[in-house]
Amino acid sequence: MARVTFREERCKGCELCTAVCPKDLLAMSKHINAMGFHPATITDMEQCNGCATCARMCPDLVIEVEKEGKKVG
Amino acid sequence: MEKVFTRPNSLKDIPMHYCPGCTHGIIHRLVAEAIDELDVVDRAIGVAPVGCSVFTYQYFDFDMYQGSHGRAPAVATGIKRVVPDGVVFTYQGDGDLAAIGTAEIVHAAARGEKITVIFVNNAIYAMTGGQMAPTTLMGQKTTTTPFGREANSNGFPIRMSEMLSTLDGASYVSRVSVHDPKNINKAKKSIKKAFEMQIAGAGFTMVEVLSSCPTNWGMSPKEAVKWVESDMIPYYPLGEFKVPSEV
């Protein structure tokens, strides 16, 4: 279980994240942000395993990734 | 839910001015992560260059200085000698380091100054409008080589890492790339290693990072990172050109 959040107002629509997702889950939104770019978004959150490859590729630190931690004990 | 990826503490939470798809943002993050992981944010002192990354001092949340064009290694030399405990680095582009600052970088390396240089090579003068840089590849079109760079009038591109690695004062010289996530991870390791070596008292350390410039190359960001892999890496091979013998 993972959660990916996008700071849409920071996204410059470069699409680098969409090219590196191993499961091809990222796409550009139809709407535009305040800067006039189509921000990146995730199409299917259920499929995401939180590998954070997209976040590592993003030049503008738009993407934050959370993952269910391993249970202690 | 545990955060597995978030902004490093030493990178300020403000939007960066770089063009869409410019890999400067990635390299800033890698430097900030290395500083955070080594827990030297109180000792870190960076020197910003002239070029696209001139505003680097606004993004890093530690002491920053800004040198005049190409002089960052000379400024860093002064800082390191006055503050020997500081973790001093310069962040320079290829126009800054390989053209106007050639004298400063060569002699800083020759003297074995205990500084780290992050050299961002995107094969073009980006901020000034895409003119030919010393690192521009043969045949590459820029605003000053509209028919492509050719040897007769423009000479040949300089491989700075190979050149500086021949100097005895250089302790660690490597070239990495940020065109895909795998290479970004490698770049991070290399940058961290350079800082670790500086902290351990080694001499001059430099990491050259191959970067993309979609705007001035006239490509989309996706095409630009592919061009780094297909055209730049064959001329600028990745790897460590100098590692200390005792390691």
pTM of the model: 0.95
Answer for the pair B192, B89: CB distance below 8 angstroms, yes or no: no
pLDDT of residue A72: 59
pLDDT at B245: 72
* Partner A, chain B 16-75, Cβ-Cβ below 8 Å: 16, 18-26, 29
Domain membership of residue B4 (yes or no) is: no
pLDDT tens track for B7-58: 999 999 999 999 999 999 999 999 999 999 999 999 999 999 999 999 999 9
CB of A49 within 8 A of CB of B173? Answer: no
Interface test with A, best of B5, B211, B223 (most A CBs within 10 A): B5
Q: Residue B1: its pLDDT value, please?
A: 81
Q: B106 lies in a domain?
A: yes
Q: At which residue do the structure tokens 């980006």 appear?
A: B126
Residues 13-72 of A with CB under 8 A from B: 13-16, 19-20, 37, 50, 52-53, 55-61, 63-69
Is A52 close to B4, i.e. CB distance below 8 A? yes
Q: Is the dihedral of CA B141, B142, B143, B148 positive or negative?
A: negative
With 0-12 / 13-18 / 19 or more C-beta atoms within 10 angstroms meaning exposed / middle / buried, residue A70 is exposed
Residue A52 has pLDDT above 70, yes or no: yes
Residue B15 lies in a domain: no
Position B135 in a domain: yes
pLDDT of B101 reads 94
Task: Quote the minimal CA–CA distance from A30 to chain B in Å.
Answer: 18
Establish whether this prediction's ipTM goes over 0.90. yes
Nearest alpha-carbon partner for A18 in A53, A67, A65, A47: A53
pLDDT interval class at B135 (50, 70, 90)? very high
**Band of pLDDT at residue B244, cut at 50, 70 and 90:** confident
Residue B227 lies in a domain: yes
Provide the percentage of residues in chain B whose pLDDT is more than 70: 99
Residue B174 φ/ψ, nearest 5 degrees: -140, 160
The fold of the A2-67 domain, in CATH, is Alpha-Beta Plaits (3.30.70)
Could you tell me if residue B17 is inside a domain?
no
CATH of the domain at B152: 3.40.50.970
Task: Give the tens place of pLDDT for each residue, B54-80.
Answer: 999 999 999 999 999 999 999 999 999
Boundaries of every domain in chain A: 2-67
Residue B10 lies in a domain: no
Query: What residue numbers bound the domain in which B133 lies?
Result: 24-242
Strand pairing report for B170-177 and B239-242: antiparallel
Q: What are the strands of the beta sheet with B170-177, ordered from one edge?
A: B63-66, B44-48, B87-93, B116-121, B204-210, B170-177, B239-242
| Domains of chain B: total | 1
